[in-house]
Amino acid sequence: MEYYLQLFINGLVVGGIYSLVALGFVVIYKATKVVNFAQGELVMAGAYICFALTVQFNIPFLWAFLLTLAFSVLLGLAIERMVLRPLIGEEHISVIMVTVGMSSVLKSLVQLFWGTQIRVYPQVLPTEPVVIAGLPVAPVYLAAFALSAVLFAIFSVFFKYSRTGIAMRATAFDQQAAQSMGIGIKNIFAMSWCIACVVSAVGGVILGNINGINSQLGHLGLKVFPAVILGGLDSLLGAALGGLIIGVLENVCDGAARQLFGLGGFREVAAFIILVVILMIKPYGLFGTKEIERV
């Protein structure tokens, strides 16, 4: 039982990071209807920038973190302006493939600058484990979880009460109506990419603090899909919950497969098997908007 409790808690922590990345994905999808296959690479880019600033330029961690966020804003702007804007109104497959191409480019840039080996962040948090419910948990995990929760709270408030947040929701609901109410759609698109990049970079920095980073970090981006499909593609709450649930489920399934059947590496597919099942029974997820077609 303790084995599964440990798996559950580890799953929650990993799930917290999935939630963050899924949050970025959903912000983009909600506002621009772009399915971003480069979400994992955005995480990786943030993680490597922060790594370079702290380790290679010896900037204190907090400043490096803030600079990383500033860089992410620029990255988001650049991506939206140069890659996505020419493709507004194109078919699904074009938009999907352009983000796939972008992920290749980002991955290769990271490899060109930093190579493929694992890089380790300097320790910023104490390593002494904290005991929760009789189980030792590393403080960095707690910090990760807390940070995800805080970010989620900030975004909920932002989308609910701030002027820009409401404009973004309006754009997501009906682009033409939003435009005729005087909302600059292009600014909203740029803004949502910035937010997604910033959130992903935060996820990347947390991941870097947990177990170091390497150029395969981008694979994390694929895990976003089970999370957002479970939560509903255009729901922030869904992304947060979906990420947590997928994190826990895949960890527990992996542990169970290892213990009961002796199967290794089941973690990689568990989430996708769950994904297929969700698509079969409830394609719009827990909180997603149902698309209704009238003829």
Partner 1 sequence: MQGKCGLFFTTYRGEAQIFQSGFQKLMIGLLLAVLLAAPLALNIHMTSIRNLIFISVIGAVGLNLLTGVCGQISLGHGAFIGVGAYAAGQCSLHGVPFPLAILTGGLITAMVGMVFGVPSLRLKGIYLAIATLAAQLVLEYVFLHGGVLTGGSNGLLLEPPKVLGFVFDSEARMYYLLLFFAAASLLMVSNIMRSRYGRAFVSIRDFYLSAEIVGVNLFWYKLVAFGVSSFLAGVAGGLWGHYTGYISAEQFNIGLSISYLAMIIIGGRGSVIGSVFGAVFIVLLPEVLNVLANSLGAFFPDIAQYIVALREGVFGLVLILFLIFEPEGLAHRWRLVKAYWKLYPFAH
CB of 140 to partner 1, least distance (A): 28
Interface with partner 1 (CB under 8 A), residue total 42
Residue with tokens 């213990």: 259
Residues of this chain, 2-61, that bind partner 1 according to CB under 8 A: 35
Residue from 107, 175, 195, 254 touching partner 1 (CB under 8 A): that is: 107
Question: Interface residues for partner 1 in 256-285 (CB under 8 A)?
Answer: 263-266, 268-269, 272-273, 275-276, 279-280, 283
The two structure tokens encoding residue 24: 């970025």
Instruction: Answer whether 52's CB lies under 8 Å from 205's CB.
Output: no
What part of residues 110-129 is at the interface with partner 1 (CB under 8 A)? 111-112
For 131, list phi and psi in degrees, rounded to 5.
-95, 120
CB-based contact 103:37 (threshold 8 Å) = yes
Contacting residue, 73, 97, 124, 147, with partner 1 by CB under 8 A:
97
Which one-letter DSSP state was computed for residue 130? E
Given the rule CB under 8 A, which of 106-114, 139-147, 150-158, 245-253 is the region that contacts partner 1? 106-114
Candidate list 105, 120, 146, 149; residue touching partner 1; CB under 8 A: 105
Work out whether 292 is an interface residue with partner 1 (CB under 8 A).
no
Stretch that binds partner 1, among 53-61, 88-96, 133-141, 182-190 (CB under 8 A): 88-96
119: phi > 0 → left, psi -120 to 50 → alpha, else beta; which? Answer: beta
Asked if 186 touches partner 1 (CB under 8 A), the answer is: no
Spatial CB neighbours of 138, under 8 Å, sequence gap ≥ 6:
127, 129, 130, 210
- Closer CB to partner 1, residue 42 or residue 102? 102
Q: Which amino acid is located at 254 in the chain?
A: D
Taking the C-alpha atoms of residue 105 and residue 26, their distance in angstroms, rounded to an integer, is 22
Q: For residues 94 and 97, what is the distance between their CA atoms, to the nearest angstrom?
A: 5
Of the candidates 10, 42, 22, 17, the residue with the CA atom closest to the CA atom of residue 233: 22
Minimum gap (Å) between residue 29 Cβ and partner 1: 9
Burial 151-169 (b: 16+ CB within 10 A, else e): bbeebeeebeeeeebebbb
Of the pair 133, 295, the CB lying nearest partner 1 is at 295
Q: Kindly state whether residue 152 participates in binding partner 1, applying the rule CB under 8 A.
A: no
Rounded distance between C-alpha atoms, residue 64 and residue 204, angstroms = 13
Of 1, 57, 58, 93, the one binding partner 1 by CB under 8 A? 93
Binding site for partner 1 (CB under 8 A): 35, 83, 86-87, 90, 92-94, 96-98, 100-105, 107-109, 111-112, 222, 225-226, 229, 233, 263-266, 268-269, 272-273, 275-276, 279-280, 283, 293, 295
